[in-house]
Amino acid sequence: MLLQPRLSQFWRLILLCCLAILFLVFLGRETIRHLRIQQVRSLNTVPRPEHVEKALVMGKMAGERVKWAHELRPDASVPPEPGYLLTLPIQRAREAGVYLSFIVDHYPNFPAYTVFLHASDHHWHNDDSQGPFTPATLANLRLDTVEREGYVNLRCNQNPGCPVSINPLSPTQTDIETGDPRSFFADMYQEVLNVSTREQVPEHLGAACCSQFAVSRERILARPWEDYVRMRDWALRGSDYEDGRMNSYGVGWVFESLWHVIFGKEAVFCPEEGKCRCDVYGVC
């Protein structure tokens, strides 16, 4: 009769052990699941672009302040900066690496309109009609024109860049002797835009500077994702020639000369300044 209580106690102990093991397994799974969620959230620092009407894409240095962008609320959604660490795998190509990385990483989920611009709130790259201040440029930008045109340069001033800034097929002797990027621009054009023959390289290239522009979702999607991947790979790695003839600044300049072509405009894209300001900013 003394064996029965001992036997019951034994099975109770076994049952408790089993329950403890099940609890630990469940706890472990929940812990792993929680960590995975935390990992995903820590990487998902940007709202899904297709859920917003417009986005600003800026390349900023570590010490560069962009408080002015936060003051655009509620017109624009700006994530907080603390812990907002989005960095390029290779620090090369200046703003071009940033712009292309945004497109590659978010394709095909873009906002209706994306404005690519520099991080400073004032500089001479902005159009004269808006003064040097970027907030004024953004406040007056006509999105209906962006929708209609697909791509608009934020600068209407034609100098520098227009009417022609590069002659890819006929570089000057000075460019050749000094190793200026203009002397081998035709080669780079073929690499960046994936064209196989010299006949596909335009004789002249021209557009107002300075790598600040607005693009519609449809215009970005006019090119396949693979095109932008190839361009970014060239910007960050392929352009790093063994002879060192292209530095980061030079690569940024190449893309500055090609953004209008990449987004579907003719090789020489120099709208008349008055018409440009009327269309882009409503200054008529």
Query: Which residue(s) pair with 185 in the sheet?
Result: none
Task: Read off the tokens for 101.
Answer: 């990385």
Confidence of residue 76 (pLDDT cuts 50, 70, 90): low
| Residue among 79, 69, 90, 70 nearest 49 (CA) | 79
Between 62-71, 118-127, 220-229, the lowest mean confidence (pLDDT) is in: 62-71
Confidence of residue 42 (pLDDT cuts 50, 70, 90): very low
- For the chain, give percent helix, strand, coil, nearest 5: 50, 10, 40
Q: Is 88 helix (H, G, I), strand (E, B) or coil?
A: coil
Rg (CA), the chain: 27
Q: Is 153 helix (H, G, I), strand (E, B) or coil?
A: strand
| Residue among 133, 137, 75, 76 nearest 281 (CA) | 137
Query: Which is it for strands 206-207 and 268-269: parallel, antiparallel or unpaired?
Result: parallel
Distance CA 194, CA 203 (A): 17
Return the H-helix or E-strand segment holding 138.
Answer: helix 134-140
What is the per-residue pLDDT across 80-92, written as a single tens digit (0 to 9) for each? 554 455 666 666 7
Domain boundaries, the chain: 1-44, 50-281
Between 87-101, 138-152, 192-206, the lowest mean confidence (pLDDT) is in: 87-101
For residues 154 and 127, is the Cβ–Cβ distance under 8 A?
Answer: yes
Which residues, at least 6 apart from 280, have a Cβ–Cβ distance to it below 8 Å? 127, 141, 142, 145, 152, 153, 154, 156
What is the per-residue pLDDT across 104-130, written as a single tens digit (0 to 9) for each? 999 999 999 999 998 888 788 888 888
- DSSP assigned state of 271: -
Confidence of residue 201 (pLDDT cuts 50, 70, 90): very high
What is the per-residue pLDDT across 147-191, written as a single tens digit (0 to 9) for each? 999 999 999 999 999 999 999 999 999 999 999 999 999 999 999
Residue 155 burial (C-beta neighbours within 10 Å; 0-12, 13-18, 19+): buried
For residues 168 and 186, is the Cβ–Cβ distance under 8 A?
Answer: yes
Residue 93 half-sphere exposure toward CB, CA atoms < 13 A: 24
pTM of the model: 0.78
